[in-house]
Structure 1
Amino acid sequence: MKKNRLGKFSWLLGLMFVVLFGAVTSAQAATSDQSLARVKAKGTLVMGTSPNYPPYEFQINQHGKSKIVGMDIELGKQIAKDLGVKLVVKKLSFDSLLPALTTGKVDMILSGMSPTPARRKSVDFTNIYYTEGEAILINRTDQAKYKTKKSLAGQKVAAETGTLQYNLIKQQMPASKLTGMSSAANLILALKTHKVAAVVKGTASATAYAKNDPSLIAINGHFKTSTAQAGNAIALKKGSTSLKLAINRSLAKVKKHGWIQKKYLKTAGKYLKVNTADTSMWHYRDYFVKGVQYTLLIAIVGIIGGSILGMLLALLRFSVIKPVRWLATAYVEFVRGTPLMVQIMFVYFGIGMIVDVSALVAGMIAIVLNSAAYLSEIIRGGIQAVDPGQTEAAESLGMSKKATLQYVVLPQTVKIIWPSLGNQFINLIKDTSMVSIIGVTELIYQLGIVQADTYRGVAPIGVAMVIYFVICWLLTRVLRYYERRLNHTNTPVA
Structure 2
Amino acid sequence: MFKKGKNKLVAVLIIMLVVLSFSGCAKNSANAGSSNNEAKNVESAVDKIKKSGKLVLGTSADYPPYEFHKEINGKDEIVGFDIEIAKEIAKDLGVELEIKDMKFDGLLAALQAGKIDLVIAGMTPTEERKKSVDFSNIYYKAEQAVIVRAEDKDKYKTTDDLKGKKIGVQKGTTQEQIAKDEIQNAQLKSLGKVTDLVLELQNKKVDALVVEHPVATSYVSKNAGMVISDVKFKDQDKGSAVAIKKGSTDLVNAVNKTLERLNNEKLIDKFVIDANNMVE
Task: List aligned pairs for 1:296-335, cutoff 5 A.
Answer: none
Q: 1:268 aligns with which of 265, 268, 275?
A: 275
Distance 1:140 1:226, change over 3 A: closer
Higher normalized helix content (fraction of residues): 1
Alignment check: 8 A CA contact 1:132 1:231 kept:
yes
- Give 2:139's aligned residue: 129
Question: For 1:173-195, what per-residue CA distance to the aligned partner results, in whole angstroms no more than 9, with x for missing partners?
Answer: 12322221221111111111111
Asked whether 1:259 is paired with 2:267, we answer yes
Distance 1:125 1:142, change over 3 A: same
Alignment check: 8 A CA contact 1:110 1:235 kept:
yes
Asked whether 1:157 is paired with 2:164, we answer no
Task: List aligned pairs for 1:227-376, cutoff 5 A.
Answer: 230-261=238-269, 263-273=270-280
What is the CA–CA distance in structure 2 between the aligned matches of 1:161 and 1:118, rounded to whole Å? 15
What is the CA–CA distance in structure 1 between the aligned matches of 2:64 and 2:48, rounded to whole Å? 31
What is the CA–CA distance in structure 1 between the aligned matches of 2:43 and 2:240, rounded to whole Å? 25
- Give 1:116's aligned residue: 126
Q: 2:195 aligns with which of 185, 190, 204?
A: 185
Alignment check: 8 A CA contact 2:65 2:218 kept:
yes
Question: For 1:177-228, what per-residue CA distance to the aligned partner results, in whole angstroms no more than 9, with x for missing partners?
Answer: 222122111111111111111000011101111112111111354323377x
The CA deviation at 1:103 is 0.7
Alignment check: 8 A CA contact 2:145 2:229 kept:
yes
What is the CA–CA distance in structure 1 between the aligned matches of 2:145 and 2:91, rounded to whole Å? 33
Distance 1:33 1:219, change over 3 A: farther
What is the CA–CA distance in structure 2 between the aligned matches of 1:235 and 1:242, rounded to whole Å? 13
- Give 1:395's aligned residue: none
Task: Using the TM superposition, name which of 242-251 and 217-226 deviates more.
Answer: 217-226
The CA deviation at 1:155 is 1.1
Asked whether 1:84 is paired with 2:94, we answer yes
Q: Percent identity?
A: 40
- Letter of the 1:266 counterpart: I
Q: 1:99 aligns with which of 109, 114, 129?
A: 109
TM-score scaled by structure 1?
0.47
- Any idea what SS the aligned residue of 2:252 has? helix
The CA deviation at 1:33 is 6.8
What is the CA–CA distance in structure 1 between the aligned matches of 2:255 and 2:107, rounded to whole Å? 19
TM-score scaled by structure 2?
0.81
Instruction: Structure 1 unaligned segments of length 5 or more: list them.
Output: 1-31, 274-494
The CA deviation at 1:38 is 1.2
Q: 1:140 aligns with which of 111, 134, 150?
A: 150
- Any idea what SS the aligned residue of 1:46 has? strand
Question: For 1:136-177, what per-residue CA distance to the aligned partner results, in whole angstroms no more than 9, with x for missing partners?
Answer: 010111011111222111211120121100001111112322
Distance 1:115 1:270, change over 3 A: same
Higher normalized strand content (fraction of residues): 2
Alignment check: 8 A CA contact 1:33 1:242 kept:
no
Q: 1:42 aligns with which of 52, 55, 59?
A: 52
- Give 1:296's aligned residue: none
Alignment check: 8 A CA contact 2:120 2:243 kept:
yes
Q: 2:78 aligns with which of 54, 65, 68?
A: 68
The CA deviation at 1:64 is 2.2
- Any idea what SS the aligned residue of 1:199 has? strand
Alignment check: 8 A CA contact 1:50 1:94 kept:
yes
- Any idea what SS the aligned residue of 1:204 has? helix
Distance 1:221 1:257, change over 3 A: farther
Q: 2:205 aligns with which of 183, 189, 195?
A: 195
- Any idea what SS the aligned residue of 2:221 has? helix
In the comparison of the two structures, how many residue pairs are matched? 239
Question: For 1:278-324, what per-residue CA distance to the aligned partner results, in whole angstroms no more than 9, with x for missing partners?
Answer: xxxxxxxxxxxxxxxxxxxxxxxxxxxxxxxxxxxxxxxxxxxxxxx
What is the CA–CA distance in structure 1 between the aligned matches of 2:173 and 2:273, rounded to whole Å? 25
Shift >3 Å, 4+ stretches: none
- Any idea what SS the aligned residue of 1:111 has? coil
- Any idea what SS the aligned residue of 1:236 has? strand
